[in-house]
A and B are shown apart, each in its own frame.
Chain A
Amino acid sequence: MGAKMVEFNGWDMPVEYPAAIGCGIINEHLAVRNGVGIFDVSHMGDIRLAGPQALAAVQHISMNDASRLAIGQAQYSALLYPEGTFVDDVIVHRLAEDDYLLVINAGTREKDFSWVRDNTRQFDCAAENLSDDFTQIAIQGPKAVNLLQKLTDADLSAVKFYWVTRGTLCGLPNTLMGRTGYTAEDGFEIYIPADEATSARVWYEILAAGKEFGVIPCGLGARNTLRLEGKLPLYGHEISDTINVWEAALDRFCKMEKPEFIGRAALEKAKAAGVKRTLVGLEMTERGIARDGCKVLDSSGREIGYVTSGSPAPFLKKNIALAYVPPEFAAVGAGVKVEIRGQGVGAVVVPTPFYRRPKKTA
């Protein structure tokens, strides 16, 4: 489609689609906020854990509580190292009684699969890497449900956020469709056979069906700005093998009331010791755009932290960033500076997420 491509963890990925067909990061971003956009996210990995002890295995490697999942429900979670830092974040889907699907990140999928396999060996269940079996397409935006409903017999209005359903989609029977995403917007992610002919056919059928809603294809660039506005973490930025759960402020997805999971003991100690840095949202108050890796300075120019992700926010029309700073600088309203090309540029700590989608009134 004439997209600008970039190599991303060994995948050729579209950054953005051409302005000539109405795309570009800003248009793609706004399409998802106001209508609908679609993303080829086949680089995401899929690991299935199935067998009599699948739940026990998931509970051991995942920090959220999978025993709370009904069949068809999904939850955000993370796989942790014994140190309480991140192997990866993950969406855990419960597909059937003893059958779980973990959707993981591109850059970490081999590492993740080895980690899951090695740490679930003691359980009576099988770990299967399905990453190459599926093409994953994300249909995102307030009109996503209307678009996808035209192509499937499944009743999508009955599917709540973070639940999955199955149905015939574009003629493909028993297709998995989850009401999930990485855009801080309503939407679905679908899992179809990975062969090129089927993937291309479904992609173009979605674009055709979405014409009346103004659908456009969206690339990695918009995916990043959308997730940043929603403060959704990105591996290697807000979370990594040197950042723990408390620092990343993902407490509500970490169920310490579970008696055991990898990383729990270290997190207990870390909590008692108190955090030395915490993730905050920044908004630039002076002219300048904070970028990943920029230093954060206090008012006297002393280095106090760093930016994990920074960008213009196309919907909010502000320059925003996520950054790690010591807790004493984390209060909303606290003034800091971000070092941009050698200059300290003013910024202020603001509430996050920067963007929260409006509650449905209908």
Chain B
Amino acid sequence: MPYPTDRKYTKEHEWIQVSGNSATVGITDYAQQSLGDIVFVETPKVGAELTVGKTFGTVESVKAVSDLFAPATGTVTEVNAALATSPENVNKDAHGAWMVKLSLKNPSELDGLLSAADYEKFVAEEAGH
């Protein structure tokens, strides 16, 4: 699975796609594969304030529970309501099934995140262990 180059990635396996001052956040294909069948996605409400590096939600597969970590600080402007009833969309298309949209407080926070190529290298190493 190629990782889209139009966004950045975290070592906690979230992706973030920025457009001006706003951003869209989801989890990576590697994350959905590791989790297996996803059955539950819990996201914050519109208006919630996220802090970079802090948990903002939960993804659960049949077997595992995994926290979502905010890739940037900002305010939630929209949540993907479809995931409440069709969480399996994340398995089908992790890079399309976004979880929240944010209004960014400090876009320079993203400078430290991974490019698609670096993330691919990172997960190849992680999978090797």
Q: In the bound complex, do residue A19 and residue B39 qualify as a contact, i.e. CB atoms below 8 Å apart?
A: no
A149: shortest Cβ distance to chain B, in Å?
A: 31
Considering only CB atoms, which chain B residue lies closest to A291 in the complex? B65
Question: What A residues does B40 contact at CB under 8 A?
Answer: 287-289, 312
Most chain A beta-carbon contacts within 10 A, residue among B58, B61, B62:
B62
Most chain A beta-carbon contacts within 10 A, residue among B34, B39, B65:
B39
Q: In the bound complex, do residue A311 and residue B91 qualify as a contact, i.e. CB atoms below 8 Å apart?
A: no
A294: shortest Cβ distance to chain B, in Å?
A: 11
Name B63's contact: one of A19, A25, A287 (CB within 8 Å).
Answer: A25
- Check if A57 is an interface residue, CB within 8 A of chain B: no
Mark interface residues in A277-311 (1 if CB within 8 Å of B CB, else 0).
00000000001110100000000000000000001
Q: In the bound complex, do residue B62 and residue A221 qualify as a contact, i.e. CB atoms below 8 Å apart?
A: yes
- Check if A256 is an interface residue, CB within 8 A of chain B: no
Tell me how many residues of A have a C-beta within 8 Å of chain B: 18
Name A24's contact: one of B34, B36, B58, B65 (CB within 8 Å).
Answer: B36
- Check if A4 is an interface residue, CB within 8 A of chain B: yes
Tell me, in angstroms, the Cα distance from A225 to B34 when the chains sit together.
18
Name B36's contact: one of A16, A289, A291 (CB within 8 Å).
Answer: A16
Residues A25 and B37 in contact in the complex (CB < 8 Å), given A19-B91, A291-B65: yes
- Give the contacts of B48-94 with A (CB-CB under 8 A): 58, 60-63, 65, 91
Considering only CB atoms, which chain A residue lies closest to B55 in the complex? A341
Considering only CB atoms, which chain B residue lies closest to A23 in the complex? B36
- Check if A107 is an interface residue, CB within 8 A of chain B: no
Q: In the bound complex, do residue B58 and residue A26 qualify as a contact, i.e. CB atoms below 8 Å apart?
A: no
Name B39's contact: one of A4, A15, A291, A312 (CB within 8 Å).
Answer: A312
Considering only CB atoms, which chain A residue lies closest to B37 in the complex? A26
Considering only CB atoms, which chain B residue lies closest to A26 in the complex? B37
Q: In the bound complex, do residue B36 and residue A25 qualify as a contact, i.e. CB atoms below 8 Å apart?
A: yes
- Check if A236 is an interface residue, CB within 8 A of chain B: no
Q: Which A positions have Cβ atoms within 8 angstroms of B?
A: 4, 15-16, 19, 24-26, 221, 224-225, 287-289, 291, 311-312, 314, 341
Known: A25-B63, A26-B37. 4 other contacts (CB 8 A): A4-B34, A25-B61, A221-B36, A289-B65
